Structure 1
């Protein structure tokens, strides 16, 4: 079983599902560039920006070149952790409505999968040095 690959899929699944939830929470109101736009324009740009973003995440984390794949998976794992910290930091912002158990389950599941991925990769690297 390829655990790093499964953790990558879990990170992507929880992150993508979080973005579905983010639409219901009007997350564009928290993003500095989009928050200055009207709700309809902010929503439009929020959705539109996720098409190339999701494409890039899928393409890079499943790239044929092992180095590109590894680097992008490490970056994704780190991002999932930072993303959770940003949501925690913004939790008291009146524009943040991510308060439900579903919202936090998705955010934290992505972060936990990211931590597990990084720990697994680090332990494999240390094991191969011995």
Structure 2
């Protein structure tokens, strides 16, 4: 009799653990994403509007005149934990290179909203985007 009463509890637990898709179980969709870029330094936070296009394993990030963000373009790839952008442009060194969409980032994607984030000890770079 004991196994019969435990069976419903085990089924409910299994459904809760395996029945729901996690955000990063969804594949990032190709397309145009618009939203905000935020950089947080010890001295303050700066935000700018941006557009990121993902198509055929290539990306383009539009820059703002104040380089918040600075932009970037090249190849990208992702797995369930991170997304890596390989910028292919030549840049001068008079600004924070982290403002370029380049390198390895953590991300979440829910099918519509894409949040890309990278941080180090003193700076955080965040793209908060929505597919168009």
TM-score range, shorter-chain basis? under 0.3
* Pair member with larger Rg: 2
The alignment's TM-score, normalised by the length of structure 1, stands at 0.20
Which structure is higher in helix share? 1
Higher relative contact order (CA 8 A, sep 6+): 1
